[in-house]
Chains A and B, each alone.
Chain A
Amino acid sequence: MEYTFSSKAKRFTLLLVVAGILLFGLGLAVDSDYKYADEHTGLGQRLWADLLGNGFFFFGISFGALFFLGLQYVTESAYTIVYKRILEAVITWFPIGALVILAVLFAGMGHMHHLYHWMDPEVYKETLENGAKNPVFDPIISHKSHYFNFGEGPDAGFLLLRFFGFVGAFWYVAKTFRKRSLQEDAEGGTKIHFKNIAMAAGFLVAFGYGSSVLAWDIIMSLDVHWFSTLFGWYVFSGVWISGIIMTICLLIYLQSQGLMSWVKKGHIHDLGKWMFALSFLWTYLWFAQFMLIWYADIPEEVAPYVARLQDYKFEMFAMMLINFALPMLFLMDADAKKRKGLLLVVGIIIFISHWVDLQLLIIPSSMKEGGKIGLVEFGMFLIFLGAFLFVVLKALAGRPLLVKNHPYLEESKNLYH
């Protein structure tokens, strides 16, 4: 059975984009005389920060889905096979999301914004040309000049090398998984299955490094004087659960269209369990990072948290409580995880809440105390969501919804829970 991207669904994605543009414009009008923190953190900076925040969020959804797909291959799991095509559709946004992030990085290198303090070449110079001391010299960033691409010599461009290396490799893996899935439909046998396992195993190793390195480079370096060793996992756990929620929502949408009748309660239950469990993975990492820094109370470590607790206290604790308490209270019961309506409602709320979480990693760092999560941000979120859904549904419509000839297809169809 195939999914057809109906004009109604197309209109819905278009509606999201239009609503997003309207909210975006309304937000700009409302905030026309808004006081920003200083001349570096004006409206332009705000828009670039929003572009980064939304670009990374939707990039992360594809990234999380790609990781999940690779995980299924390596563990030779059966339970996801019947809705594997949804995961394969979600990963099609990966290159587009990467392009948005790349645009923000390049704009920063061209000094169109000041999101990244380390992109300013002045902070690396100890003395000025006339021999006097450089007032903006930053010894801490300067020590990291080999890691960023502003060092002189052979390591120049290391940042872009990392970005292109990891993203390029992951994109290749995503494309190959998609290609082989159709190939397996046509050919059958177990050859492709074993090739997928080998490739996914290599991918997961690269992913272990890549997910952390990308999170450091793109998000953690916004606060260049601050670092946290579990930051990569923390960001990743947030995008992973967003990817799972996106999969659940698409699955429920397809079933409401009368498709995917082979997906049973047990499959929904398994996805519900992932949503429940990943909420606690995220909470655990959030709290582990917060508590250690709060307890040690070392000035250079607490600075970003102080900034957030002073100016973004409500957003921070509201999103923390929602992301933790909502799944815990509503999804603890085994029967609750099988109820599609409940999964959809809880899923959408924590999806938005995880989006707020990611914005809170970016906006306080780039906008200082003058930032806010308002209509402009939410409008851009809707624009991205509409575009994302358009790309994903288009990819979904291009191929049959059920794989053929996968070795675990029968087991997956007759899943016992």
Chain B
Amino acid sequence: MSTVIYAMYDDDHVLLNGAKKVVSKGIHVTDVFSPFPVHGIDDVIGVRKTRLAICAFIYGLTGMSLALIGMRYFMIVDWPMNIGGKPNFSMLQNLPAFIPITFEFTVFCTAHGMALTYMLRNKTLPGMKAKNPDPRTTDDKFVMEIHVEESKEAELIALLKETGAIEINKKAA
């Protein structure tokens, strides 16, 4: 039987030092909820490096390919149009004219793909129920989430109080 402890702080530096202390005792901090990015917290609590960049690259590549394939079909294969006398029979010779749209479509796909992936992964898509333990973490408070065995609960709460937590809540896991 384990419980989830939510330790609330009102200052990001106190939180950061507190997290360092807790981690140095060998306790795993599951998550930190904060109204703004706290510099250095990911290294302290051991958040894995984001793989969003890899997704972004794949989305960008998809966008670029779609744009090029699409324009080749529209402008070269299906209905070649004479625009200002530009070569309309060859993709390669007409490439400079296609670059701006390719660029825009790449950015479009990357941006939307990243935003959707990010929200899906965090379960924050529109309409999803908010998961943060305390609405005050969207204003000016910081919350540290720790899963702990019931037997070690009292010890942990004492430690958290010592690091400057202003409020401690618990929930059955």
Q: Mark each residue of chain A from 302 to 341: 1 if its CB lies under 8 Å from any CB of chain B, else 0.
A: 0000000000000000000000000000001110000000
Q: Mark each residue of chain B from 4 to 16: 1 if its CB lies under 8 Å from any CB of chain A, else 0.
A: 0000000000000
Query: Are B99 and A287 within 8 A (Cβ)?
Result: yes
Query: Are B99 and A297 within 8 A (Cβ)?
Result: no
Q: Which partner residue on chain B sits nearest A287 by CB separation?
A: B99
Where chain A touches its partner, the secondary structure class is helix
B5 CB to nearest chain A CB (Å): 28
Chain A residues within an 8 Å CB radius of B86: 295
Query: Are B40 and A295 within 8 A (Cβ)?
Result: no
Query: Are A291 and B99 within 8 A (Cβ)?
Result: yes
Contact of A34 with B by CB under 8 A? no
Bound-state Cα–Cα, A214 to B80, Å: 44
Q: Mark each residue of chain A from 264 to 295: 1 if its CB lies under 8 Å from any CB of chain B, else 0.
A: 00000000000000000000000100110011
Chain B residues within an 8 Å CB radius of A297: 84-85
Q: Which partner residue on chain B sits nearest A335 by CB separation?
A: B49
Select B96's contact among A290, A332, A334, A416, beta carbons within 8 Å.
A290
CB within 8 Å of B: which of A160-210? none
Chain B residues within an 8 Å CB radius of A291: 96-97, 99-100
Bound-state Cα–Cα, A297 to B87, Å: 12
Where chain B touches its partner, the secondary structure class is helix
Query: Are A416 and B84 within 8 A (Cβ)?
Result: no
Contact of B51 with A by CB under 8 A? no
CB within 8 Å of A: which of B23-69? 39-40, 53, 57
Chain B residues within an 8 Å CB radius of A332: 57
Chain B residues within an 8 Å CB radius of A295: 84, 86, 96-97
Chain A residues within an 8 Å CB radius of B99: 287, 291
Interface size class of B (residues with CB under 8 A): 10 to 19
Query: Are B100 and A416 within 8 A (Cβ)?
Result: no
Known contacts A334-B53, A416-B40: does B96 contact A294 (CB below 8 Å)? yes
Chain B residues within an 8 Å CB radius of A287: 96, 99
B144 CB to nearest chain A CB (Å): 20
Bound-state Cα–Cα, A333 to B50, Å: 12
A147 CB to nearest chain B CB (Å): 31
Bound-state Cα–Cα, A290 to B84, Å: 16
B67 CB to nearest chain A CB (Å): 16
Q: Which partner residue on chain A sits nearest B97 by CB separation?
A: A295
Bound-state Cα–Cα, A296 to B96, Å: 12
Bound-state Cα–Cα, A297 to B94, Å: 13
Bound-state Cα–Cα, A295 to B97, Å: 7
In the complex, how many residues of chain A place their beta carbon closer than 8 angstroms to a beta carbon of chain B?
11
Bound-state Cα–Cα, A287 to B95, Å: 12
CB within 8 Å of A: which of B71-102? 84-86, 96-97, 99-100
Bound-state Cα–Cα, A294 to B99, Å: 13
A322 CB to nearest chain B CB (Å): 18
Bound-state Cα–Cα, A296 to B85, Å: 10
Q: Which partner residue on chain A sits nearest B57 by CB separation?
A: A332
Bound-state Cα–Cα, A297 to B147, Å: 68
Q: Mark each residue of chain A from 354 to 385: 1 if its CB lies under 8 Å from any CB of chain B, else 0.
A: 00000000000000000000000000000000
A416 CB to nearest chain B CB (Å): 5
Bound-state Cα–Cα, A333 to B97, Å: 29
Q: Which partner residue on chain A sits nearest B56 by CB separation?
A: A332
Q: Mark each residue of chain B from 85 to 122: 1 if its CB lies under 8 Å from any CB of chain A, else 0.
A: 11000000000110110000000000000000000000
Chain A residues within an 8 Å CB radius of B97: 291, 295
B71 CB to nearest chain A CB (Å): 15
Bound-state Cα–Cα, A297 to B96, Å: 13
Chain B residues within an 8 Å CB radius of A333: 53
Chain B residues within an 8 Å CB radius of A290: 96
Bound-state Cα–Cα, A291 to B94, Å: 11
Q: Which partner residue on chain B sits nearest A333 by CB separation?
A: B53
Chain B residues within an 8 Å CB radius of A416: 39-40
A363 CB to nearest chain B CB (Å): 24
B62 CB to nearest chain A CB (Å): 16
A369 CB to nearest chain B CB (Å): 23
Chain A residues within an 8 Å CB radius of B40: 416
Q: Which partner residue on chain B sits nearest A284 by CB separation?
A: B103
Chain A residues within an 8 Å CB radius of B85: 297
Chain B residues within an 8 Å CB radius of A334: 53
Chain A residues within an 8 Å CB radius of B100: 291
A297 CB to nearest chain B CB (Å): 7
Bound-state Cα–Cα, A297 to B84, Å: 8
Bound-state Cα–Cα, A297 to B53, Å: 40
Bound-state Cα–Cα, A81 to B84, Å: 52
- Residues of chain B at the chain A interface (Cβ within 8 Å): 39-40, 53, 57, 84-86, 96-97, 99-100
A-B contact pairs, 20 of them (CB 8 A): A287-B96, A287-B99, A290-B96, A291-B96, A291-B97, A291-B99, A291-B100, A294-B96, A295-B84, A295-B86, A295-B96, A295-B97, A296-B84, A297-B84, A297-B85, A332-B57, A333-B53, A334-B53, A416-B39, A416-B40
- Residues of chain A at the chain B interface (Cβ within 8 Å): 287, 290-291, 294-297, 332-334, 416
In the complex, besides A291-B99, A291-B100, A333-B53, 17 extra interface pairs with C-beta distance below 8 angstroms are: A287-B96, A287-B99, A290-B96, A291-B96, A291-B97, A294-B96, A295-B84, A295-B86, A295-B96, A295-B97, A296-B84, A297-B84, A297-B85, A332-B57, A334-B53, A416-B39, A416-B40
Q: Which 8 A-B pairs have the closest CB atoms?
A: A416-B39, A291-B96, A294-B96, A416-B40, A295-B97, A297-B84, A287-B99, A291-B99
